[in-house]
Structure 1
Amino acid sequence: MADRHVPDFGGPDFRGPDFGGLAIRDLVIAPGASPIRQAIAPGEIVGLAGLDGHGQELFLKMLAGLAPPLGGSIVLDLPGGGGKITGFRKAVSSGIAYLPRDRRANGIFPTQSVLDNFAVSTLSRDTRLGLISPAARRARYDIYREKLSIVAPRPDAPITTLSGGNQQKVLLARALALEPAILLLNDPTRGVDVATRHVLYDVFRGLASDGMGLVILSSEIEEILLLCHRVLVFRENEVAAEIAGQALTTDTVISAMFGRAA
């Protein structure tokens, strides 16, 4: 249920010329595992792959502050100094947004409207003179509805009336409304139709072009090959391989997942 806790943090747009990226320093995600040293640069899309249960999802959740590491640290290089991630609240307030894997269990609030699901994490941005402004909320929602091509009958409709793909777009809009420097995506196209997938792909590429760093865990190798500049392949709770450039192929990723030479 930790994924469902989406408090209102507000805050500035963290992207800017002084944002230096996300540093993962000697991170240990399981007993006996080798420490992980990585950096996510602004504008970079990094993929996470591996067989189920080999640590890639745990690693992503640690970046989001949803699981404590056994050792090491995660630091955002922000204007004016660094920000060490010590939990989910700190991650979000520092400039990290997370999109959960299971939108039904950990993402949507099924009894709430489309608009309420969108605005729940950023209520303070719609406040005028201490009161929530419905017009401001609606105007902000409309911006993201257009950007993500969200198809919804009306903002006050129950979110459960939307297709799975449009529910996912609302959750992505909620994450983007935080204006993060780093976006963490846990299998973001799981259970959505082909047309929605390609809309999301274009959005992810556009965000990277604008300077946002993205980390994408995907259960589909083809998706990783399409989107990512480089891929970290996890095996037994360690980064077994880092693959980029011309070496980034289906064969090399699968070989690394099974501990074989390509």
Structure 2
Amino acid sequence: MNAVRDKLIVEGLRLRTDRQAIDESIGAGEIVGLAGLDGNGQERFLEMLAGLVAPAGGSIGYRDDVGRTHAINSFRRAVSHGVAYLPRDRRASGIFPALSILDNFAMATVTRDCVAGLISYRRRRERYDHYRERLSIVAPHPREPITTLSGGNQQKVLLARALALQPGVLLLNDPTRGVDIATRKILYEVFRELSNEGMALVILSTEIEESLHLCDRVLVFRDFELASRLSGEEMSADRIIATMFGRDS
């Protein structure tokens, strides 16, 4: 492993106690895709990286920019050490429908808006405007309810919330699900920019072509095990599908 570039280090990780252990490292600037038929472990793997689900065995570590490695064993610890997670179902586990666009954006970073112990609306608005411009969020006044936004713009607000944490690793669970083509294009451009800036991205996508389009390599899961690591010329839709169905040998 490269002690400088590795951001996530997975050692002996088991998705289930009766499955083979996984050793993996994800480097700074990498975009790594996760693929597999639904219910074969790729989502559980991503949730373990986020600290949302406890591993059945093994460990997950995050290496910060000065080379210190921190154990990831809870969602709170993951966030505090530079790992951000964007959930798949924005309505069920992402947005707070009763709150404004601005409050939804700032939910994870409230303390960064405080001046002398009081929340500064100006500081919060400035942070929001920065990400609104970067992500091309189309929205009315930020104090309007987040439910006034289209699904694609709601997704951008959630991504802005994650990026406001200034993470070293961004975990994305089907991030373009249910968004239009224009929004998808913007998200792709942002993901590549973040990678070029040195952020590590792990993207679970239910669309194989998306993984091939975005990712440097793809981890394919089958029956709660890592069935294959594909990169370079090995990365093709046919190879991924064959691995998913156990026809890769």
Normalising by structure 2, report the TM-score: 0.97
Q: Give the secondary structure class of the aligned counterpart of 2:144.
A: coil
Within 5 Å, which residues of 2 pair with 1:66-85? 66-78=52-64, 79=66, 81-85=68-72
Amino acid in structure 1 at the alignment position of 2:72: I
Q: CA RMSD in A?
A: 1.2
Question: Per-residue displacement from partner, 1:107-150 (whole Å, max 9, x unpaired)?
Answer: 00000000000001001111001100000000000000000000
In 1, Cα distance between equivalents of 2:216 and 2:68: 27
Q: Identity percentage over the alignment?
A: 61
Q: Give the secondary structure class of the aligned counterpart of 1:39.
A: strand
In 1, Cα distance between equivalents of 2:4 and 2:132: 29
Q: Give the secondary structure class of the aligned counterpart of 1:241.
A: strand
Instruction: Report the number of matched residues.
Output: 246
Aligned to 1:121: 108
Q: Give the secondary structure class of the aligned counterpart of 2:63.
A: strand
Within 5 Å, which residues of 2 pair with 1:180-195? 180-195=167-182
Amino acid in structure 1 at the alignment position of 2:131: Y
In 2, Cα distance between equivalents of 1:248 and 1:142: 38
Amino acid in structure 1 at the alignment position of 2:214: L
Q: Give the secondary structure class of the aligned counterpart of 1:97.
A: strand
Matched, 1:32 2:18: yes
- Distance apart, 1:32 and its partner CA: 0.8
Residue 235 (structure 1) aligned to one of 215, 222, 227 = 222
Within 5 Å, which residues of 2 pair with 1:128-207? 128-207=115-194
Residue 52 (structure 1) aligned to one of 18, 32, 38 = 38
Amino acid in structure 1 at the alignment position of 2:6: G
**After the TM superposition, which parts of structure 1 deviate over 3 Å for at least 4 consecutive aligned residues?**
17-20
Within 5 Å, which residues of 2 pair with 1:13-28? 20-28=6-14
- Distance apart, 1:161 and its partner CA: 0.6
Residues 191 and 35 of structure 1: is their aligned pair in 2 closer, same or farther, counting only changes over 3 Å?
Answer: same
In 2, Cα distance between equivalents of 1:88 and 1:223: 27
Aligned to 1:11: none
Gaps of 5+ in 2: none
Aligned to 1:4: none
Aligned to 1:252: 239
Q: Give the secondary structure class of the aligned counterpart of 1:46.
A: strand
Normalising by structure 1, report the TM-score: 0.92
- Distance apart, 1:80 and its partner CA: 5.1
Matched, 1:43 2:34: no
In 2, Cα distance between equivalents of 1:247 and 1:19: 24
Question: Per-residue displacement from partner, 1:183-237 (whole Å, max 9, x unpaired)?
Answer: 0000000000011001000000000000000000000001000000000000000
In 1, Cα distance between equivalents of 2:49 and 2:63: 14
Q: Give the secondary structure class of the aligned counterpart of 1:109.
A: coil
In 1, Cα distance between equivalents of 2:55 and 2:248: 30
In 1, Cα distance between equivalents of 2:90 and 2:36: 21
Question: Per-residue displacement from partner, 1:44-65 (whole Å, max 9, x unpaired)?
Answer: 0000000000000000000000
In 1, Cα distance between equivalents of 2:245 and 2:71: 33
In 2, Cα distance between equivalents of 1:52 and 1:125: 38
Question: Per-residue displacement from partner, 1:158-201 (whole Å, max 9, x unpaired)?
Answer: 00010000000000000000000000000000000011001000
Amino acid in structure 2 at the alignment position of 1:102: D
